[in-house]
């Protein structure tokens, strides 16, 4: 099939091109960017399937044999470009956060519904083996009534991440660490437990000392629909973990779910979980489990491979999409509530959304 990569200078463009290159079903990759200088000399990995880059969006989307497009452009350009894709009748994978606001993303989802195309936000971390195992365990009832959920996601400081980048300019990025990286964690709270964040209090601040106007540190206190409570701390805080954007060692993460009958802890981004739950016959209540992680050059590794496999199956009507834009809307509304709470100093209810069915 013929597909398109729209946006060639985004931090993830190279990894996404490699992902498309790895897909056996993809035979040709159209490359587009709005910047003539990028079109003339894109900084991308080699690809046997990629066609010559172009700046003619109408020509790309006008191809009858084009099946889907991956949109990876600046956050303030995501929704408008995604809207062009779905109204052209093409399936869509949108880079997170999928738009600057929940209202923008809702407009794209409604247009995708009218066009009858699959529209997905790129949340590959859902399909990390640890996330999949934690979801299965949490939603089986093995942990009992959920009491608390907690997450920490720290990464390298702003000064190591090109502070002059659009990622740290509010007019282009829309927000800071919550919108760019925290979105994955906020999505996993829901995806793993099936619960919803309904109310929160937040402190968002900028502490890097760099000339940026988005939050680089955030602390959230969460209330869930079930009555469980939670915390989320995120920050560009690490001083001695290397430089550069693609730095696998530059993260410190923790995700935990605590129930009356057990708990799950994902202590890092490695394929291991610490589990406490009622043991099977001959088993142990407290254990550490590891999961196979075959090497992959795709965006998100084997989790990204699984995301794209499920997306292709959804296009063929062989199963549900790995995500919908409803998932991006949910996350955007949590982040919007966090910004409101930080400004007001009060708990804020997360705006409910009943416009679309929740993703599986």
Task: Give just the sign of the alpha carbon dihedral 177, 32, 9, 3.
Answer: positive
Instruction: Write the CATH number for 192.
Output: 3.30.360.10
pLDDT in tens, 67-91: 999 999 999 999 999 999 999 999 9
Q: Answer whether 168's CB lies under 8 Å from 74's CB.
A: no
> Domain end: 292, 310, 337, which one?
292
pLDDT for res 333:
98
The pTM of this model reads 0.95
Residues 45 and 88 placed together within one structural domain of the fold = yes
Coil, strand or helix at 277: coil
What's the whole-number mean pLDDT along residues 167-189?
97
Residues 222 and 197 in one domain: yes
Range of the domain at 45: 2-121
Find out whether 199 and 218 touch, Cβ atoms under 8 Å: no
Q: Specify whether 197 is located in the same domain as 113.
A: no
Q: Is residue 278 included in any domain, yes or no?
A: yes
pLDDT band at residue 359 under the 50/70/90 scheme: very low
Number of C-beta neighbours around residue 95 at 10 A: 23
Contacts of 303 (CB under 8 A, 6+ apart): 124, 125, 126, 127, 128, 129, 131
pLDDT band at 355 (very low <50, low <70, confident <90, very high): low
Domain count, the chain: 2
Looking at the fold, whether 197 and 259 belong to one and the same domain comes out as: yes
Residue with tokens 């929940």: 102
Which residues, 6 or more positions from 186, have their beta carbon under 8 angstroms from its beta carbon? 178, 197, 232, 331, 334, 335
Domain shared by 62 and 130, yes or no? no
Question: Is 117 a member of any domain?
Answer: yes
Classify residue 340: in a domain, yes or no: no
Q: Backbone phi, then psi, for 85, in 5-degree steps?
A: -65, -50
Residues 22 and 50 grouped into a single domain: yes
* Helix or strand run (H / E) with residue 10: none
Same domain? 40 vs 150: no
Dump pLDDT digits (tens) for 122-132: 999 999 999 99
- Checking if the pLDDT of 351 tops 70, the result is yes
- Phi and psi at 281, nearest 5°, equal -55, 125
Residue 213's Cβ-count burial label (10 Å; 0-12, 13-18, 19+) is: exposed
Looking at the fold, whether 220 and 246 belong to one and the same domain comes out as yes
CATH at 62: 3.40.50.720
For residue 213 the two structure tokens come to 């106007």
Q: How is residue 175 annotated by DSSP?
A: S
State the pLDDT at residue 356.
46
Q: For 197-235, give the secondary structure using H, E and C.
A: EEEEEEEEECCCCCCCCCCCEEEEEEEECCCCEEEEEEE
Q: Are residues 133 and 117 in the same domain?
A: no
Q: Does residue 187 sit within a domain?
A: yes
Please state, in angstroms and as integers, the Cα–Cα distance from residue 317 to each residue in 116, 271, 313, 322, following that order: 11, 31, 6, 12
Residue 80 lies in a domain: yes
Query: What is the residue whose two structure tokens read 């973990």?
Result: 241
Looking at residue 358, its pLDDT comes to 42
280, part of any domain? yes
């Amino acid at each position: 099939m013929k597909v398109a990569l729209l946006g060639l200078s985004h931090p993830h463009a190279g990894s996404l091109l490699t992902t498309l290159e790895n897909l056996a079903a993809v035979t040709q990759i159209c490359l587009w960017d709005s910047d003539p200088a990028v079109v003339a000399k894109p900084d991308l990995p080699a690809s046997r399937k990629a066609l010559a880059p172009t700046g003619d969006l109408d020509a790309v989307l006008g191809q009858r044999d084009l099946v889907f497009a991956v949109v990876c452009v600046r956050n303030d350009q995501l929704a408008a470009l995604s809207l062009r894709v779905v109204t052209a009748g093409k399936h869509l994978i949108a880079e997170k956060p999928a738009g600057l606001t929940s209202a923008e993303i809702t407009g794209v989802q409604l247009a995708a519904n009218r066009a009858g195309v699959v529209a997905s936000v790129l949340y590959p971390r859902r399909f990390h083996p640890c996330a999949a195992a934690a979801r299965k365990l949490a939603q089986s009832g093995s942990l009992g009534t959920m009491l608390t959920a907690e997450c920490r996601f720290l990464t390298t400081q702003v000064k190591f991440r090109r502070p002059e980048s659009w990622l740290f300019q509010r007019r282009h990025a829309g927000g800071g660490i919550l919108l760019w990286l925290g979105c994955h964690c906020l999505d996993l709270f829901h995806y793993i437990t099936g619960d919803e964040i309904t109310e929160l209090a937040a402190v968002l601040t900028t502490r890097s000392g760099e000339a940026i106007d988005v939050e680089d540190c955030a602390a959230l206190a969460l209330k869930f629909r079930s009555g469980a409570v939670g915390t989320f701390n995120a920050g560009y805080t690490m001083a001695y973990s290397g430089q550069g954007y693609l730095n696998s060692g530059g993260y410190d993460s923790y995700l935990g779910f605590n129930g009356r009958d057990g708990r799950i802890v994902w202590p890092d981004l490695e394929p291991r979980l610490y589990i406490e739950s009622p043991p099977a016959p001959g088993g142990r209540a407290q254990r550490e489990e590891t999961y196979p992680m075959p090497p992959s050059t795709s965006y998100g590794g084997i989790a990204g491979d699984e995301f794209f496999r499920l997306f292709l199956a959804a296009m063929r009507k062989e199963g549900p999409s790995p995500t919908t834009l409803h998932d991006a809307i949910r996350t955007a509304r949590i982040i919007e509530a966090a910004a409101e709470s930080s400004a007001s100093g009060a708990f804020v209810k997360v705006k409910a959304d009943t416009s679309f069915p929740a993703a599986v």
